[in-house]
Structure formats: structure tokens, C-alpha cells
Amino acid sequence: MLRLGRREFGTHEPVIMAIVNRTPDSFYDQGATFQDEPALARVEEAVAEGAAIIDIGGVKAGPGEEVTAEEEARRTVGFVAEVRRRFPDVVISVDTWRHEVGEAVCEAGADLLNDAWGGVDPRLAEVAARYGVGLVCTHAGGAQPRTRPHRVTYDDIMADILRVTVGLAERAVALGVPREAVLIDPGHDFGKNTRHSLEATRRLGEMVATGWPVLVSLSNKDFVGETLDKPVKERVVGTLATTAVSAWLGAQVYRVHEVAETRQVLDMVASIAGHRAPAVARRGLA
């Protein structure tokens, strides 16, 4: 059972985490939700389309202008508090690697800290433990925040992913983070080239077999773009194909831009797998 905030999710229940970037330079939406009102409208839309988790980020993942911890907090803390007020039952996640920001957003009502940079600040897990919130433990190949991979190599990419993510998860639980609120993430594109991310997807079942809930952040990423030779705005189909494969292999949480489309893919895979009944079943019964 995965428990985050006020929500509980069954073992075979796919969960959508909708991306809301509070940045002026995000790679996909180019700052569309940087201002409060568009961002709140995005939250309302995502929840209506089936998102159970809202993932709020104050710093884009790639290189760019420096964003201090103070500025990151300014972009996220007040927004977290407002989302908490308007949507008391939604799970609020914050994408940050800094413990100072983690502390501030937990005070404001966050339920989950999404550490996409693989524990580069070990105190973030301590914050999660102190506040009793969830933690995403990600493989980033030892990369520093906001850097791109350059000629990275692994003897066995999945072995490294398992070593790092399971190690981070076990450390988090030892610190006091609730076990049922810890997830592991292979970290597509983070510290990886395209072939690494494809292999991580192909072998995702090995992560699922650890027993930790698996989160995948696939949406419109470079490994999709390079695989299909498509620019950022033309990666939705490739993303959804990767989502379907990940769902079949047992991933549970999906960090996405396109909520409605992802919901349909996940519902279809769940029904094929026998975990969900069809929404209607009239064919052949009339």
C-alpha cells in the first residue's frame, strides 16, 4: 500500500503525478505556469483529468540562470499553501533537492519531496523524516543538479539504479520516513544517455521486483526525442508508448504533462492486465 498525504493507493492502482512548473524557463511549457493564476488553473484542470498528485517545481532541471534556495522557496512555498487550501485532498509533491526548500514547503503543507537528483543533499531525507512526508529516491548517476550527462558509462545500468535507489530508500526508512511513503525512480535522462534510459525502461520489472513503488518521469524527455528524432512538442506519442510499456512492467506513479491522455493509457493497460473492469461492457450483450 502506497500512502501519501490523505490518500492510499492499492498495489495495482496507477497514479498520475501532474507537473506544475513555477519556472519562467521550463523546457516544455516555457513558463506557462510561472504566474499564480495560470498555475492554479493548471492544478484544477489536472485534478479534474485524474491526477492524484501535483508536483510543483521551482527550478528547471537543465542548465540555466542560477536560482538560489531563497528564490526557489519564493516560487513554491506560497503556492503550495494555496494549493493545500483549495485542494485539501490532493497529494502535493515538491520537486527539490535542497533541504532548506524541503523544510519550507513541508511547513506549507507538502506531502511528498521529489528528490530528482539522487540524494545530493542528504539532509533532504532528514527533513522528510522529521515531517513524516514521503520521499522519491532517484538515480541520477552521481550528477550534480542542473548538469547534463557527458559520456557517462555504466557496467550495468540497472544494477547501478538498484544499488542507488534501494540504498536511498533504505536510508530514508532508517531515518524515519514512513516506509509506505517511499518511492524509487530510475531517473530517465538524469546522468544517462538515451540508450541507458531505454534499457532502464526495458528492465523496469527489476525495480518493481524490489517491492518499492516505482515512479517514472518520462514526459517528453530527450530520450524519447532522440529515439524518434522528434522536437520537444512532438514527443507525446513516444511518451505514451513508453508509459504503456512501463505500466505493463509494473510502475505505479507517472509524472506527466498530458494528464488526460496518460489516464487513458493507464486505464487501458490496467484493464488488459485484469486489474480494472471496462468502464462499460455492452458489446455482445444486446
**Cα(253)–Cα(247) distance, integer angstroms:** 9
In the set 60, 171, 192, 221, the catalytic residue is 221
Please confirm, yes or no, whether 233 is among the known catalytic residues. Answer: no
Cα Rg for the chain, rounded, in angstroms?
A: 18
Whether 235 and 224 have beta carbons less than 8 Å apart is answered as yes
Q: What share of the chain is helix, strand, coil (3-state, %, to 5)?
A: 45, 15, 40
Please confirm, yes or no, whether 22 is among the known catalytic residues. Answer: no
* Contact partners, residue 100, CB within 8 Å, separation at least 6: 69, 73
* Contact partners, residue 126, CB within 8 Å, separation at least 6: 99, 175
Cell of 258: 498530458
Question: How many alpha carbons fall within 13 Å on the CB side of residue 39?
Answer: 25
Triad 16, 21, 27: Cα angle to 5°: 100
33, with CB counted inside 10 A (0-12, 13-18, 19+), is buried
User: What is the β-pairing status of strands 91-95 and 53-57?
Assistant: parallel
In the set 192, 255, 263, 276, the catalytic residue is 255
As annotated, the active-site residues are: 221, 255
